[in-house]
């Protein structure tokens, strides 16, 4: 999974998040999906004692303590699909913790499948010190292209530790879409120039919680503090819509999933309407604080799948990070200062009223 060290410290406040959410107005219809009980589609992966199923079998808790993290894996591999869960993250001090929801072609419950040329699609939640919000990143790897990580990092407009929200990955032969609730936040459209960098191998769905003290929070500055353990992440309303593949068959027949692919591409979650594309644009303008597409240090030549947006490009340095050090709060302070200067120029009495 993505191990990009990032020193950006997120300082956006809950009140500002609520204001921005109200201003942006992310309004989309709920997806039509069929959920599974845990035993219908998943198996424990590691840390069995820290994996706790609900009595009805429709939700599961993953715990991290001083001894181990935990995780689960889909019982089958898939060639394309829609993979989704409602997730609630740990609260309080969560520095150094990573909660991941991702697709990976490298391993099944039967052992390794692709050792050095795996494909991967990630949603990774990055913990933070107490009082600071969770952040998260998405990443795309194809054909073992770990030296060409395609990270984007974001903030959220809500506190993901307070209640459940749906996080989803759509993967088809044509495109990849990452969702938060029903808002598309990122799309990767396949093109010939990507070659093997576009994920094409059968993959399993994973969910894990683990100790990533070496990199997850401010580049490893803050470590996991086990005085707050156990850390608990909860998953429910699990979805596996896709073409199931025999793991022994590494390279399935190209037509084996054609019918399912056609079905997937007709689903509501596969169609980005003008309204949802507008919501995606607003999300990226407000909450994306790193994108590899604008990182000219790592990629002097822009990767072929990047659809460079002129408005996004103006916001980022050549490093792909937000201007002014990536702090939304700092930008807000500068904007307030700018407004105050303008107010003073217009009227001394107005300035006194503001103070």
Alpha carbon distance 79, 222 (integer Å): 38
Give the chain's end-to-end CA distance (angstroms, integer).
48
**Six token digits for residue 286:** 């407000």
163 is known as an active-site residue: no
Q: How far is CA 165 from CA 159, 172, 236, in A?
A: 10, 23, 10
Bridge partners of 183, per DSSP, are 180
pLDDT level of residue 332 (50, 70, 90 thresholds): very low
Q: How far is CA 320 from the centre of its chain?
A: 17
Model confidence pLDDT, tens digit, residues 116-167: 678 999 999 999 999 999 999 999 998 876 667 799 999 999 999 999 999 9
**Six token digits for residue 172:** 């088809």
Q: Please pick, among 10, 40, 115, 124, the residue that the annotation labels catalytic.
A: 124
Select from 227, 204, 91 the least CA-distant residue to 158. Answer: 91
Helix axes 14-24, 328-346, angle to 10 degrees: 80
Model confidence pLDDT, tens digit, residues 206-239: 999 999 999 999 999 999 999 999 999 999 999 9
Q: Please pick, among 120, 151, 152, 305, the residue that the annotation labels catalytic.
A: 120
Query: Residue 282: CA atoms inside 13 Å, Cβ hemisphere, count?
Result: 16
Architecture of the domain whose range is 38-340: Sandwich (2.60)
120 is known as an active-site residue: yes
pLDDT level of residue 252 (50, 70, 90 thresholds): low
Alpha carbon distance 206, 42 (integer Å): 9
What's this model's pTM, rounded to 2 decimal places? 0.82
Numbers of helices and strands, H then E, in the chain: 7, 18
């Amino acid at each position: 999974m993505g191990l990009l060290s990032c020193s950006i410290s997120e300082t956006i406040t809950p009140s500002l998040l609520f204001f921005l959410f109200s201003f942006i107005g992310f309004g989309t219809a709920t997806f039509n999906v069929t959920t599974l009980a845990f035993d219908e589609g998943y198996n424990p992966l590691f840390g069995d004692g820290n994996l706790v199923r609900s009595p009805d079998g429709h939700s599961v808790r993953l715990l991290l303590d001083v001894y181990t993290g935990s995780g689960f894996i889909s019982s089958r591999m898939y060639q394309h699909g829609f993979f989704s869960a409602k997730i609630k993250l740990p609260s309080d001090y969560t520095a150094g913790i990573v909660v991941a929801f991702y697709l990976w072609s490298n391993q099944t419950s039967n052992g390794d499948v692709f050792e050095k040329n795996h494909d991967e699609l990630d949603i990774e939640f990055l913990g933070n010190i107490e009082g600071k919000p969770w952040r998260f990143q998405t990443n795309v790897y194809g054909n073992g292209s770990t030296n060409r990580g395609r990270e984007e990092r974001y903030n959220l407009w809500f506190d993901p530790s307070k209640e459940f929200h749906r996080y989803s990955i759509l993967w088809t032969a044509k495109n990849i879409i990452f969702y938060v609730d029903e808002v598309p936040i990122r799309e990767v459209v396949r093109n010939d120039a990507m070659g093997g960098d576009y994920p094409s191998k059968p993959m399993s769905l994973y969910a894990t919680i683990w100790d990533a003290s070496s990199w997850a929070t401010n580049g490893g500055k803050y470590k996991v503090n086990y005085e707050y353990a156990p850390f608990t992440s909860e998953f429910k309303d699990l979805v596996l819509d896709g073409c199931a593949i025999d793991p022994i068959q590494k390279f399935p027949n190209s037509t084996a999933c054609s019918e399912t692919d056609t079905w997937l591409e007709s689903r509501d979650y596969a169609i980005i309407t003008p309204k949802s594309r507008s919501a995606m644009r607003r999300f990226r303008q407000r909450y994306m604080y790193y994108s590899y597409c604008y990182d000219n240090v790592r990629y002097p030549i822009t990767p072929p799948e990047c659809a460079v947006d002129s408005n996004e490009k103006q916001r980022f340095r050549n490093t792909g990070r937000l201007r002014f050090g990536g702090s939304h709060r700092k930008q807000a302070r500068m904007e307030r200062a700018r407004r105050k200067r303008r107010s003073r120029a217009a009227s001394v009495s107005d300035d006194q009223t503001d103070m």
